[in-house]
């Protein structure tokens, strides 16, 4: 069956921003103006289409990324509305992995906020072209040019305004389009559906010309004809400007900046025009690369229906009506209902029972998905987040997604015997959905441990256990995910010798370990010369070291950032085996770690507190009592923005304490930043106890 939409008319975009910048409100307006919904929902009264979970509507925040499709100017736009809260950063990560472009939303008052920086770095990782939309221009204190300066300085990028606002705050009435050099006044009574274009007012013309010249200068390198016209001071056609802006945006050399107020329905239609005009279609982001597991070499797939199938599963959802929904992005080829596809990572075949076009939690069944489509499937029982789907005859494994490790853990146990069996199934389904949610068992106490990205993350998951899976559970106090590392290098030997009548076991290794760079994880090198340890035993030695690193020698926490090298050893012609060398490697590591000045590391959070001036001293005093390190204090409107690094252990209950100190007038944002050594005096005070 031929595809309905040509691939060059498809846009796969995400909306990303700091919490409360207006992502969901903007998405609701996009749905309304594109004719997808007939009544605009509002976050504050829980009536939005995209925030459909009960927990999202109650709390007024986005928890899970929701996908939908709209049509605008004969273009199909697949949109993913991502969460802004740092606890749900994995939702942003996996969305960006499958998107071709994104809209970065900024509050005209707050500018670049902490989570804005986090999502921007995530988009940088995938080289995703971006548009910036300065939202909330109607709010008191809105500062369009201040926000642009903020973007340039904090995000180290090149924002280029394509519009300037007509008024700010309560006086915001419209905008000046610098491409067409027209002023646009919105009609409030029509909910933004009608506007009036006219000439630019004389008093604003100098500013409009100044910013138009800056815009043309920023993109003139991308079109020789445009550059010639600019140098000769001749009129430049709109189409020429738009083409140059598009090329520069796709090259990630500029970030076009638009403005508006989603809540007041101003600027949203031009944002959609910007998506169509400046963000890439699936053919413009380059061929997708992957590894052919049979030939162990890199291969590419073009964004074409005629290529072999390659798709990536980026999200799993437990649906009460159809069971497990697997969201996937098709990069090349097509996939039909009833087709058997192949998961090369698991070496398993899967059958597509249904293909669904998603609209938040509503869906429409379709027969076939094409290159560039983002859809959901029913029937993929084994595939997990990050798995590649392809044709068995043309296997390929696309680049995996990386997710941060959890930093907070709590013990959980069912309240009744009836909940015992249900809780295992429920937790497994939730961990399938969310790659940053982990379930484990403490071997010493037998307790079940759940781990996540923060208190809110775990709170939401426990709430879902009760509502969706009807499981009641008792929750322990939050515990921090500590780690261990070493300060100095050391060497040690491990010797495993067993004789038991028949064939024995013999493994003998000498290893050297040294500290790695923070965040480097584990690296292994075989430095044996002369063949005292045959090469085939190198891998088991490394596996033994990795297993021993799961339980450190100080308090049993996982060991990180280690460089290990096999430097010597010996073997027996008959009794040596992979198992013996694996055990010897494990023994050698434990001995070496004890001699390498081991230390415990704790997660440290990056914190920003926005506090009115008269409470500043109390907030700083409280942070100092929590062992916080103040990084800077900057004025922000009629308040101060305090930036600090604070150990996660000290931040439990901080929301309540801050409300009390500031009479509810201060707000804070927090995200994981790095691991840091715990000073000895606090190591004992925190009573780390058993590893979780």
Binding site membership for GTP: which residues?
Answer: 17-24, 81-85, 135-138
CB 53 within 8 Å of CB 67 = no
Nearest-angstrom CA–CA distance, 52 and 58: 10
Nearest-angstrom CA–CA distance, 21 and 136: 8
Nearest-angstrom CA–CA distance, 598 and 411: 27
- CA 589, 594, 599, 600 dihedral sign is positive
CB 65 within 8 Å of CB 376 = no
∠ CA 119-125-127, nearest 5°, is 100
Name the region of 111 (left: φ>0; alpha: ψ -120 to 50; beta: rest): left
Instruction: For 569-625, give the secondary structure using H, E and C.
Output: EECCCCCECHHHHHHHHHHHHHHHHHHCCEEEEEEEEEEEEEEEHHHHHHHHHHHHH
Nearest-angstrom CA–CA distance, 688 and 647: 14
User: Which token pair is 368?
Assistant: 């076939």
Nearest-angstrom CA–CA distance, 322 and 379: 9
Instruction: Using alpha carbons, list the distances in angstroms from residue 566 to 308, 485, 510, 617.
Output: 43, 19, 6, 54
Annotated binding site: 17-24, 81-85, 135-138
Based on DSSP, count helices (H) and strands (E) in the chain, helices before strands.
Answer: 16, 38
DSSP 337: T
User: Which token pair is 12?
Assistant: 């796969």
User: Which token pair is 4?
Assistant: 């309905």
Give me Rg for the CA atoms of the chain.
28
Beta strands 288-292 and 368-369 are unpaired
Counted residue by residue, the chain has a size of: 692
Residue 595 CA neighbour count, 13 Å, CB half: 14
| Number of CB atoms found within 10 A of residue 161's CB | 22
Backbone angles phi, psi at 182, to 5 degrees: -130, 150
Nearest-angstrom CA–CA distance, 433 and 441: 19
Looking up tokens 């329905």 gives 265
Residue 313 CA neighbour count, 13 Å, CB half: 30
Nearest-angstrom CA–CA distance, 363 and 124: 32
């Amino acid at each position: 069956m031929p595809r309905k939409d040509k691939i060059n008319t498809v846009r796969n975009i995400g909306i990303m921003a700091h919490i409360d910048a207006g992502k969901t409100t903007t998405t609701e307006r996009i749905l309304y103006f594109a004719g997808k919904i007939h009544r605009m929902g509002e976050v504050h009264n829980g009536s939005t289409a995209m925030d459909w979970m009960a927990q999202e509507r109650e709390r007024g925040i986005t928890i899970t990324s929701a996908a939908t499709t709209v049509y605008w100017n004969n273009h199909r736009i697949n949109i993913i509305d991502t969460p802004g809260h740092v606890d749900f950063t994995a939702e942003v990560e996996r969305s960006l992995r499958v998107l071709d472009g994104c809209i970065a939303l900024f509050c005209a008052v707050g500018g670049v906020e902490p989570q804005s920086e986090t999502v921007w770095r995530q988009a940088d990782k995938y080289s995703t072209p971006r548009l910036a939309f300065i939202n909330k221009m109607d709010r008191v204190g809105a500062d369009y040019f201040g926000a642009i300066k903020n973007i340039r300085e904090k995000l180290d990028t090149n924002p280029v305004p394509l519009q300037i606002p007509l008024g700010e705050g309560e006086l915001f009435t419209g905008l000046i389009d610098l491409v067409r050099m027209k002023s646009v006044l919105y009609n409030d009574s029509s909910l933004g559906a009608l506007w009036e274009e006219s000439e630019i007012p004389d008093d604003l013309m100098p500013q409009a010309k100044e910013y138009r010249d800056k815009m043309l200068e920023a993109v003139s390198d991308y079109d020789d004809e445009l550059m010639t016209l600019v140098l000769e001071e001749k009129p430049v056609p709109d189409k020429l400007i738009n083409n140059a802006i598009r090329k520069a945006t796709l090259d990630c050399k500029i970030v076009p900046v638009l403005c508006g107020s989603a809540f007041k329905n101003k600027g949203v239609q031009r944002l959609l025009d910007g998506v169509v005009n400046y963000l890439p279609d699936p053919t413009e982001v380059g061929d997708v690369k992957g590894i052919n597991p049979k030939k162990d070499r890199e291969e590419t797939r073009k964004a074409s229906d005629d290529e072999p199938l390659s798709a990536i599963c980026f999200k799993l959802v437990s649906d009460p009506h159809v069971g497990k929904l697997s969201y996937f992005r098709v990069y090349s080829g097509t996939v039909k209902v009833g087709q058997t596809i192949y998961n090369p990572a698991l070496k398993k075949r899967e059958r597509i029972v249904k293909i669904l076009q998603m609209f938040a939690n509503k869906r429409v069944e379709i027969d076939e998905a094409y290159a560039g489509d983002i859809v959901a499937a029913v029937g993929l029982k084994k595939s997990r987040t990050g798995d590649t789907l392809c044709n068995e005859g043309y296997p390929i494994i696309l680049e995996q997604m990386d997710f941060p490790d959890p930093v907070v853990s709590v013990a959980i146990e069912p309240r009744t015997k009836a909940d015992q069996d249900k809780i295992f199934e429920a937790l497994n389904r939730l961990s399938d959905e969310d790659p940053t949610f982990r379930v484990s068992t403490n071997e010493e106490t037998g307790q079940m441990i759940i781990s996540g990205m923060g208190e809110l993350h775990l709170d939401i998951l426990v709430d879902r256990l009760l509502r969706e899976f009807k499981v009641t559970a008792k929750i322990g106090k939050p515990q921090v995910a500590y780690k261990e590392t070493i300060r100095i290098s050391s060497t040690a030997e491990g010797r495993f010798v067993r004789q038991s009548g028949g064939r024995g076991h013999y493994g003998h290794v000498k290893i050297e370990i040294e500290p790695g760079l923070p965040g480097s994880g584990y690296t292994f090198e075989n430095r044996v010369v002369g063949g005292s340890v045959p090469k085939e035993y190198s891998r088991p030695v490394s596996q033994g070291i990795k297993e021993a690193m799961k339980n450190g020698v100080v308090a049993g926490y996982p060991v990180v950032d280690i460089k290990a090298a096999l430097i010597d050893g010996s073997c027996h012609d008959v009794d040596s085996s992979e198992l013996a060398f694996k055990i010897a490697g494990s023994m050698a590591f434990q001995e070496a770690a004890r001699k390498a000045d081991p230390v415990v590391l704790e997660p440290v959070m990056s914190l920003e507190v926005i506090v009115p001036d008269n409470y500043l001293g109390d907030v700083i005093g409280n942070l100092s009592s929590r062992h916080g390190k103040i990084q800077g204090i900057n004025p922000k409107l009629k308040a101060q923005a305090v930036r600090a690094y604070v150990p996660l252990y000290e931040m439990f209950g901080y929301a309540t304490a801050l409300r009390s100190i500031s009479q509810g007038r201060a707000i804070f944002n927090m995200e994981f930043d790095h691991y840091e050594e715990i000073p000895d005096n606090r190591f004992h005070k925190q009573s780390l106890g058993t590893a979780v």
